[in-house]
Amino acid sequence: QVQLVESGGGLVQAGGSLRLSCAASRSIFLFNVMGWYRQAPGKQRELVATISSSSRTNYGDSVKGRFTISRDNAKNTVVLQMNSLKPEDTAVYYCNAHELVIEYWGKGTLVTVSS
pLDDT value of position 36: 98
CA distance 8 to 110: 9
pLDDT value of position 47: 98
CA distance 94 to 39: 8
pLDDT value of position 1: 84
pLDDT digits (tens, 9 = 90+) for 42-84: 999 999 999 999 999 999 999 999 999 999 999 999 999 999 9
> Residue 85 to residues 60, 66, 72, 79, 112: CA-CA distances in angstroms?
14, 8, 23, 16, 10
Q: How confident is the model at residue 19 (pLDDT cuts 50, 70, 90)?
A: very high
